Amino acid sequence: MEAEGVFLVIAEVSVAFAGFSGIVAVLGRRSAGEWRSGDILRFWQMIEVSLSALIFSLLPFLFHYIGLSPASTWAACSGLLALVSSVQMGRAGYRTLKAARSDLSISPGFTVPFLLIGVLIVLLQLANTLSLGFKPSIGPYLIGLFWQLSLACVLFWRLLKFSDIPLSSMRAD
């Protein structure tokens, strides 16, 4: 199978993001049970996107080892990624708007560009699934996976940014 090493690295990084989000969640005011709606939103989106990237980095192995051709593997993986990404974007948009009503740290304006890029990623996945303009291949699927990983990275950064953990407490003095 193509790019086995790349898929395994994406899986490892996804697990790391999910694990580190749990660590960040127990630091600062959150350890005392003080969770704002934005904290909850960022935490669960981080977990959802990280685990999604993990599953989608391992999915091609399943299809490969059950005997699908490479083109069928990439078409099936892209179709499933498009479906899951569409659901994730709908949920993220809804949850962000809902949380923004009660938490000023939530910025719907920050979310909109990510949703628009996500729509382009979904369209690319659908084109790969339906052979629109090109034969199904690994390239568009990897772009979708890297998008998932990029979202996990941004969500992790936002989780840290709004954690209220004083930087002085992170020094190893």
Q: Is 108 a domain residue?
A: yes
Q: Is 119 a domain residue?
A: yes
Q: Is 173 a domain residue?
A: no
Q: Is 102 a domain residue?
A: yes
Report the first-to-last Cα separation within the chain, whole angstroms. 47
Count the domains in the chain. Answer: 1
Q: Which structural domain range is residue 36 located in? A: 4-166
Q: Is 172 a domain residue?
A: no
Q: Is 19 a domain residue?
A: yes
- What lies within 8 Å, CB to CB, of 43 at 6+ separation is 21, 25, 159
- What lies within 8 Å, CB to CB, of 46 at 6+ separation is 17, 18, 21, 152, 155, 156, 159
Q: Is 120 a domain residue?
A: yes
pLDDT, one tens digit for every residue, the chain (173 residues): 677 888 888 888 888 877 777 676 666 555 666 677 777 788 888 889 989 999 999 999 999 999 999 999 999 999 999 999 999 999 988 888 888 887 776 777 778 888 899 999 999 999 999 999 889 999 999 999 999 999 988 888 877 776 654 444 433 43
Q: Is 171 a domain residue?
A: no
